[in-house]
Amino acid sequence: MIIAIVGAGLAGLTAGKILAQKGHEVIVLEKSRGFGGRLSTRYAGKDLDVKLDHGTPYLEANGESFQLFINELVDKGVLAPWTDSFGFHNEEGFFESHPSREMKTVYAAPNGMNSVGKYLSRWVDVRNNTHVSGITMVAPGSKWKRPWILNMTDSSVLEADALILATPAIQASGLLQTAQDETPVRALHALTSTIKYDATFTMMLGYGEMDIPGWKGVYCQNDVIGFISNESSKRNNQELTIVAQTNKQFSYTYRDVDPAVVKTRMSDALSQILGKWAGVPKWSQLHFWRYAHASNSLKQHFLESSQEEAPLAIIGDYLGGNSMESAYVSGLKLAEYWSEKLSVK
């Protein structure tokens, strides 16, 4: 059976790995050239030779299954324990440890967060730079052999026996809208279209060769910055590098503002939090994540269409939570269920 998965993020690749291990042919279609979706790494700096995590900065588990997955990644050398304490900054100053955050070990990827996606992609056929623009459920008696046709923006098509949409809800909702006017698909569209997202700006900054600060990350309470990650403490970057994320309110207010203005506001805030040096980097790069965090979620771990002849499921971080852990659990739960239901004879 060919299972097509749209989206090579944590949810899609987790489901893909398990279904491939059960004997299915899994094809993952990914519009970008990377693996891991929002678990992402950029080459930045003047010579584009410095790796920085400009999406999720670290992994942490609350539940058992995600902790087991993290342990597997640590065993394989993909992750390493990063810290068990973050700093905190507010109008009263800088604190070595967060006053209210319950701390446990969090994990970083020495070779970049996208190595998590690369690790998971070994079991499946990932087709990068492949943007799915529409899905069609094939009518009985048509010339197509399989119940799903996926249309790409480059006009190519893929036939599949089962389909999983593992994109942010907004994109899943858009794809569901392109399907024929089938009632079960419409029901899924109605559910996914209720999900909203918060945006985030991330700024990657390099300071040349400087002493690396002792803190690994700092949670901040101010008008601009929400979190600062000390990227140099994750890997042997030759220079001091940090990634700063803006908070929800700033990201919303500045979403359509000139990026140069955003950078200035962020640099000014960094110099207030960390010291003057932080506002005068040798280089910096800004990225805008329009769909960084789901601001609401659905309680189910996955959604499934009731049409048995054309299996279709939806997974992602907004199902059963709104975090990287819920993305993983969503992919895992669907794959366990479909492993039984679509078992290879």
Ligand X SMILES: Cc1cc2nc3c(=O)[nH]c(=O)nc-3n(C[C@H](O)[C@H](O)[C@H](O)COP(=O)(O)OP(=O)(O)OC[C@H]3O[C@@H](n4cnc5c(N)ncnc54)[C@H](O)[C@@H]3O)c2cc1C
Q: Check if the beta carbon of residue 242 is closer than 8 Å to that of residue 229.
A: yes
Sign of the CA dihedral running 32, 34, 40, 45: negative
Question: Judged by CB under 6 A, does residue 38 bind ligand X?
Answer: yes
Burial of 151 (0-12, 13-18, 19+ CB in 10 A): middle
Q: How far apart are CB 327 and ligand X at their closest, in Å?
A: 3
Question: Judged by CB under 6 A, does residue 292 bind ligand X?
Answer: yes
Q: Which residues pair with 28 in a beta bridge?
A: 5, 126
Residues 301-340 that bind ligand X (CB under 6 A): 316-317, 323-324, 327
Q: What does the per-residue mask of binding to ligand X show for 89-128, with x meaning CB under 6 A?
A: ----------------------------------------
- Cα separation, 209 vs 285, in Å, equals 18
Question: Judged by CB under 6 A, does residue 31 bind ligand X?
Answer: yes
H or E element at residue 259: helix 259-274
Considering the complex, state which of residue 12 and residue 147 has its C-beta at the smaller distance from ligand X: 12
Question: Judged by CB under 6 A, does residue 147 bind ligand X?
Answer: no
Applying CB under 6 A, among 15, 17, 24, 30 the residue interacting with ligand X is: 30
In angstroms, the first-to-last Cα distance of the chain is 10
Applying CB under 6 A, among 29, 303, 334, 335 the residue interacting with ligand X is: 29
- Cα separation, 113 vs 107, in Å, equals 10
β-strand pairing of 217-220 with 225-230: antiparallel
Applying CB under 6 A, among 5, 12, 124, 335 the residue interacting with ligand X is: 12
Question: Judged by CB under 6 A, does residue 229 bind ligand X?
Answer: no
Q: What is the binding site for ligand X (CB under 6 A)?
A: 6-12, 29-32, 37-39, 55-56, 131-132, 166-168, 171, 200, 202, 245, 289, 292-293, 316-317, 323-324, 327
